[in-house]
Chains A and B, each alone.
Chain A
C-alpha cells in the first residue's frame, strides 16, 4: 500500500495541520516507507486473536459521585492565548 501526495494532503486536514509543499513531499516518501515497513504485520495470522488495547486489562474504575472543588475559573483560563473575563476567545466558528 503506497501513499500519494494527495493522501498526505487529505490526512493533513484530518490532523488539523497545514503543510508546505516541501513537507508534503518529504512526508509522502517518509510515511510511505514507514507504512511499507508496517505492512509486514500482514504476514501474521491473527484470525483467532482478540485485539488488546491495554496491557493491564483493568475493570472499570468508578469515582464516587460526590461534588469536589475544581480549579477556579481564572486559573483554568490563565494559559489561554486569548480570553475575556470568563471564556476562551476564538475566531468566528461559522464564518463571518
Chain B
C-alpha cells in the first residue's frame, strides 16, 4: 500500500532503476481498485488481464534493455471519451455503449509510446456534459472524501481515482472546467492546457472551440510528467499548435523569481463559501511568503462567462452531436417497432395533410434513436444549442455570445499586463451532496462561474489543493496563465506545494492503509 502513496515521479524512478516491476505496481493499483471500487465507482471499465499483460510486456522490454519511454511502466487511467482501438469507448452514454473505435486517439498513441499501462477507463458525465458525474448513463462516481457527495465532473472518475490512489496519473478533458472542478472537489492537481496544446484527434467532441485534454495527478510535478507526454503538435488535428514542448519535468522545480500574482477580485465577490474564501486568502499569504508580489486585478466581463458559455458550448454540441444518427455507429432504435408506430400513425391520420406531416421513416429513425440513446442533460443542451442557432435567434444569442467572448479575452489580455498568473477559487463551494442540483440545471451551470473563462479565452489553468472546509472537504486553488505558459503555471503550483502539504492529504481510507 505504501507504494500507492508515492508520487508518479518517484515511481518512474523506481521502475527505471529496476527496483520495482511494472507488473507488481500495476497489480497493487488493480488491488486497490478491486477493494474500493464498489464504493467509489470511478471506472466504467477495468480489464485486469489486459493491464497486467501490458505491464509484463513493458517489464520484458526493460529486461531486454529497451528504452521504456518517460512513463516506463506506470499505470494511467483515461477518461472514457478517448478513442482507443478495439476498446469500448462509451462517453458514459447509451448511445455509445457498444462503440469500439477502429483507431487510437493521438493521446492514446502517445501514452502507449511513452510506456504507459492503460489501467482503466474512467466515468464522466455523459458526453462530458455536467459537473457531478450524475449525468453518466451507467453509474454515479462518489467523492472519495465523502461518498455521499459528488466528485465533480465531468472528469469525476478521473479525479476520484487519483484521490482514491487507484491510479497515479489520469487523463481528463476540460470544456468549461471539467478537469479543474473535479480536481478541486477531490483534492488533486489538474491542468487544462492552452487550447491546441494537446491534440484532440480521437477525443469524442463536445464543443470544439473549447475542448482540451489534460492531466490530473496528486502533485504539480506528476502533472508535469504527464503533460510532457500528452502535449505537442499533431498534423491530424489542424487546431493543434505547432510550438515546441518545453521540458516541463525539468523546470517544474525551479521557483519563479519576482512572480506577479493577480488576485481576481471579481471571483471573491459573488456567493463564495466562507471556507473557500478563507483558503484562497491564505494561499495569497503563502505566495507572499514565497516572495511573490500580489496585486488585485479585475476581469469585468467574467460575470457574463456563464451566459456566454451556455450559448456557445450547447451550440457547438448540438452541431457535433448531430453525428449520432443511428446509421454510422452506436445505438439504433428497434426498426420493427418504429415501422409499426408509423403505420399506426398513418392509419390514425384524419386527412392527407395530417398524414403528410408525419415523419418519414428515416427522420423517425433519427429521432427515436437519439431520444432513446441520449440522457436528459445531453438532450437539454442539444435543444438549447439548436434553439440558439435557429433562424431568428442566431444574432440575439449565438452572435452576441461570440462578441462577448472577445470582451472576455480582452479582459484577460489586460489582466496579464499586470500579472504573470491569475489566482482565485476553482469552485464557489466544496463538493455538494449527491442530488443537490437534480431539478435545477441552471444552478448546476452557475457552479462553473470561475472556470469557463479559461476555455472561452483558450488560456491555461490549473487547480491545486489549498485547504479544507470545516467538514474536511478539499478546496481548490485556481491559477490561470496566458496561452502556452503551462510551464509557468506548473512552476507556480510547485512553489505552492513546497510550502504547503494540502496535496499530500488523502481521504481516511487511503491515509490509514499501509
* Residues of A bordering B, CB below 8 Å: 1, 3, 7-8, 11-19, 23, 27, 30-31, 33-35, 37-38, 40-42, 44, 46, 49-56, 58, 61, 63, 71, 75-76, 78-82, 88, 90-96
Contact = CB atoms under 8 A, between A and B. Distances in A.
B112 interface: no
Nearest to B332: A81
Given A14-B390, A15-B383, A56-B195, A50 B367 contact: no
A15 B304 CA distance: 27
A38 B402 contact: no
Interface string B207-251: 001000000000000000000000000010011010000000000
B212 to A, nearest CB: 10
Given A49-B407, A61-B238, A88 B195 contact: no
A17 B304 contact: no
Contact of A90 (B100, B362, B382): B362
21 contacts: A15-B318, A16-B322, A17-B374, A23-B379, A27-B379, A38-B311, A41-B304, A46-B400, A50-B403, A55-B209, A55-B409, A56-B239, A75-B102, A76-B102, A78-B100, A79-B99, A79-B101, A81-B331, A91-B339, A91-B362, A95-B360
A41 B404 contact: yes
A52 B260 CA distance: 29
Contacts of A79: 99-102, 328-330
B278 interface: no
Given A11-B383, A34-B445, 7 more contacts: A7-B387, A38-B397, A38-B401, A52-B406, A75-B102, A80-B327, A92-B360
B367 A18 contact: yes
Contacts of B404: 41, 44, 46, 49
Contacts of B386: 11, 14-15
A71 B442 contact: no
Contacts of B402: 51-53
